[in-house]
Amino acid sequence: MSIWEKVFVGIVALGVLFWMLPGTRQMIANSKDAPKDWMGLIIPIVAVILFIMFLISSVR
């Protein structure tokens, strides 16, 4: 990749970041009032970890 392509990709990435910034700020402000649902996060993570452990153990 040439230097100009890298510069262009960097400019596009910064543009997308600045384009999404107002929506992200609003999302963070709204999430402070939202109910906390940690079990909805923990259960899928534990399920994925257990599935990966099952896959690793079944290879042997």
Question: What's residue 52's pLDDT?
Answer: 96
Question: What's residue 33's pLDDT?
Answer: 82
Domain boundaries, the chain: 3-59
**47 to each of 35, 37, 38, 58, how far by Cα in Å?**
23, 17, 14, 16
For 14, the token pair is 């910064």
Question: What's residue 38's pLDDT?
Answer: 87
pLDDT digits (tens, 9 = 90+) for 7-59: 999 999 999 999 998 888 888 888 888 788 888 999 999 999 999 999 999 98
SS (H, E, C) the chain: CCHHHHHHHHHHHHHHHHHHHHHHHHHHHHHCCCCCCCHHHHHHHHHHHHHHHHHHHHHC
Question: What's residue 49's pLDDT?
Answer: 97
Question: What's residue 1's pLDDT?
Answer: 78
